Chain A
């Protein structure tokens, strides 16, 4: 039983009554791609509760928690630092298409009652605590303010899970590490082993692929950026072995979700990105 031990949880098991083969995954990914194309109009429709044309643009003073309540899961993206979009390293990279497209996959593949649209929120917003899993990316350039540090720390210690994605190389790692140390100075970053329950919660994932950004991995094009040659799945656990932060380094799940319907985007990477994304959500909703 995991409840009484410290460190990463122990006995867990998963049984897939209808095991997915590689062909199944490929056909599902293909179906997703079609789904993505068909739903293009939906993807970029204005979401309920948000003023037309304001999607993704958050300004100071804007209420970021505008999603109608009552659903089991909201794909919640952390809006940190400068809220203006377009700069390199913005919180809003791939936003909102990646969010919406991932949600289509999540809703299709699982029984999760997931809200169909994006849900950005600032770290100092008290409503952050309504969403126990949040997603942040491009943290290689992230610079958190003191209120954001406090908001994120309290969120994580209360039971929230932060999923990090899309930052590359040692330089960006160093920036992220310095920022997260301000949030959780008492905990260390460790590798999440391949036998960790997170990699068994929905799909059985036996290896960590490097998911390239759009344009990468095609033909002989490299999948890495800067000196981020090896992908890594790391985490920060608390004293009870509970995962507080899941870190996807040297990989870009968000781009794979965003361009899953692109016939030029390599299928194996979008497949993997969906698998890992679904696993993290299912794990984060049960651990």
Chain B
């Protein structure tokens, strides 16, 4: 256990470099998946693994869809205002 903890401390001594590229937006995926998993673990009335996986997938897709829709709205707004 101390070895695992020491390894975690060692590998994360400095922040990793994340460039400002479109690919950096993919960092939103793990956090969305985590939120979907915990939320559904709390909210499901009857917990069965197939149902859980289905519900988490649905929520995950919904979150990503909402993010994309928000991005599109902001893009349209920016074009309309004349920022782009």
A and B together in one complex: no
Chain B residues in the interface with A (C-beta under 8 A): none
Chain A residues in the interface with B (C-beta under 8 A): none
